[in-house]
Amino acid sequence: MPAIVPAQLAFTPDGTPWSEVFGDVYHSADGGLGQARQVFLAGNGLPGRWASREHFTILETGFGLGLNFLATWAAWRNDPQRCRRLHFVSVEKHPFSAADLTALHARWPEFAELSAELRRLWPCLVPGFHRLNLDGGRVVLTLILGEALDGLRQLRARADAFYLDGFSPATNPDLWSPPLFKTISRLAASGATAATYTVAAVVRDGLAGAGFQCEKRPGFGGKRSCLAARFEPRFPDHDPVRPVGERHALVIGAGIAGTSVCERLADRGWELDLIERRDEPGREASGNHAGLLLPLISRDDSRASRISRACFLHALRALQTLDGARWGQSGVLQLAKDPRHEALQRATIEALRFPPEFAAYLESGEAGALIGRALEQGGWHFPMGAWAHPPGICRALMERHGDRVRRHFATTAISLEWKHNLWRVLDQEDHTLAAAPVLILANGADAPAFVQAAHLPLRKVRGQVSHLPAGLFSAPTVAMCREGYVTPDVDGMAALGASYDLDDDDPEPRVSGHEANLARLERLLPGAAARMDPETMEGKVGFRPATLDRLPLVGALPSGLRQEGARETQLRHLARHPGLYGALGYGSRGLVWAPLMAELLASQLEGEPLPLESDLMESLDPGRFLLRASRQGRGFSWVSED
């Protein structure tokens, strides 16, 4: 995926923001705010059209300065009849840096508060989808950085209004091409509207060919006309399946996966019943003293790397807004294993050209200077990387909307039953613990114990973490990893891990596990383990749910093939259990995966724009392994795909 090239701040002689790349202005010389209000808001019948809606979606082709977004956000805030949740999706090939947005937005002081919040969560400029929850989560900005057509083809959404605000068709024809208009048609809800400042024939013809009825309206400033349009779908079933009616769900599992799902659904007004066999949240695999947040990167920028990047950046934004969470942005240094791996790491950074604030390669001397110790190899440095305390995060997620989450702790779910359009969770005596139309399994490697999830290829992996007290170990201020990891000092103790033990159900820490962890520490920091006695060390064991491809299982759970013996070729052909979903398979990376996976699941249930590219969601679909087996005419087998 090509690197993002940021926009460069430039102006015309009269002070209008100007693009050197496209040779065009970002807005009318008669005033950007007036253009935003007259052409785009009024051209789409806003704010009137979003009145009393549950949610309303606007799609913009060209984020630019963000002025249309700020004007829309302000209009929404000032409207007592506003929709409950406003989604704004925008594509941008050359985004401005946060610093440049500061200078640009200073021209509109009435937006100072909104601009400050936007810039506080402004994403690192890397390709892909970036979801920003603003205004207490009531305004959701999904930025798609990269080529507009590529990004929109990957988008799953139904837009109620379109702001067609690319540069002039003469200077940027890609944003006004027939393929782009066709894609807009696919994304349009019935009755959607569109507005643009240009009345060029290529635009009128493109919209008409995509199913829009166009009309000219008075233009803004010195421009005689602008264009408004309404979408009239050719097929009555154009709109997607509506979201579930009753906002009530059961969630099984109160680790980082389950509490994240509860928080995201409760934020949307859902009522939740959370069932957990332990007496408090974050006691199983999410119970470690500290864990790391860092992305996966690969030279080919694989799907796994792209998913990891989106999840990592989203997790950091989520932590910024979570009161009571224990975490710290220490940065993470991922050391190379040997000279050959060192060369691969260096070549990967050179090929992907990430911004240095996201990922950089440090030679051994630079890496050693960063942590204050001599190192034999260099490695990747993730300045935005962090450590976090998972149990504290689980508790903070529970407290955010605690009045909407009924807690059934110290309660074991034994079986599930679908009856009268409700899922019932039953205990050992077949008594109903709770019932709701939606059930989400977030109980890790234990999920296949339920008949409805028995086919999921989840495997329990024992992970032992060792605790290093500050009196015996001088922890680095930067988190480090290679074949193991060590955190900075967190409340007087560093965490060192972790073992990867298959088919091992021992819940207690053991000396051999501490010995293996100390060997990992010695490879990271030679000599650091000298004072450690594995016989007296303390630690924790957790059982992590691993999948064949090391990616989560998120979405509707399949019930099997549509007919016995059939060989399905697409995920949409798989039959699904009604109202049954999974948030599973997070392995040892729950801190990274959980926030965006919960946002994805909540968006699916609500019928909102989805926060990830469609090809990446296919890589997360719980039916993917069943589909592969169907295509090959075989069953599942535990053979690593790494």
Q: What is the CATH number of domain 18-231?
A: 3.40.50.150
274 bridge partner residues: 251, 407
Contact 584, 538 (CB under 8 A): no
Q: CA-CA distance, 295 to 423, in Å (whole number)?
A: 36
Say what the pTM is: 0.95
**Pair of tokens at residue 615:** 């090809």
438 bridge partner residues: 249
- pLDDT above 60: residue 261: yes
Model confidence at 568, in pLDDT bands (50, 70, 90)? low
Model confidence at 635, in pLDDT bands (50, 70, 90)? low
Contact 57, 26 (CB under 8 A): no
Is residue 442 packed enough to be buried (19+ CB in 10 Å), middle (13-18) or exposed (0-12)? buried
473-496: pLDDT as tens digits = 999 999 999 989 999 999 999 999
Q: CA-CA distance, 114 to 105, in Å (whole number)?
A: 10
Q: CA-CA distance, 267 to 391, in Å (whole number)?
A: 20
Mean pLDDT value across the chain: 93
Tell me the C-alpha to C-alpha distance, in Å, between residue 277 and each of 261, 418, 443, 549, 589: 17, 21, 10, 28, 22
Tell me the C-alpha to C-alpha distance, in Å, between residue 55 and each of 159, 163, 239, 430, 608: 11, 17, 15, 39, 8
Contact 619, 303 (CB under 8 A): yes
**Pair of tokens at residue 244:** 């579930």
Residues 401-426: what's their mean pLDDT?
Answer: 96
- pLDDT above 70: residue 585: yes
Please say whether the structural domain 459-545 has been given the CATH code 3.30.9.10. yes
- pLDDT above 90: residue 572: no
Model confidence at 31, in pLDDT bands (50, 70, 90)? confident
pLDDT at 224: 87
CATH 3.40.50.150 in the chain, residue ranges: 18-231
Three-state SS at 572? helix
Q: What is the CATH number of domain 248-283+392-457+548-632?
A: 3.50.50.60
65-104: pLDDT as tens digits = 999 999 999 999 999 999 999 999 999 999 999 999 999 9
Residues 366-385: what's their mean pLDDT?
Answer: 95
pLDDT at 562: 54
pLDDT at 131: 98
Q: Which carries the bigger pLDDT value, residue 563 or residue 582?
A: 582
302-357: pLDDT as tens digits = 999 999 999 999 999 999 999 999 999 999 999 999 999 999 999 999 999 999 99
Q: CA-CA distance, 24 to 27, in Å (whole number)?
A: 9
CATH 3.50.50.60 in the chain, residue ranges: 248-283+392-457+548-632
Q: Which residues of 612-626 are buried (b: 16+ CB within 10 A; e: fewer)?
A: bbeebbbbbbbbbbb
CATH 3.30.9.10 in the chain, residue ranges: 459-545
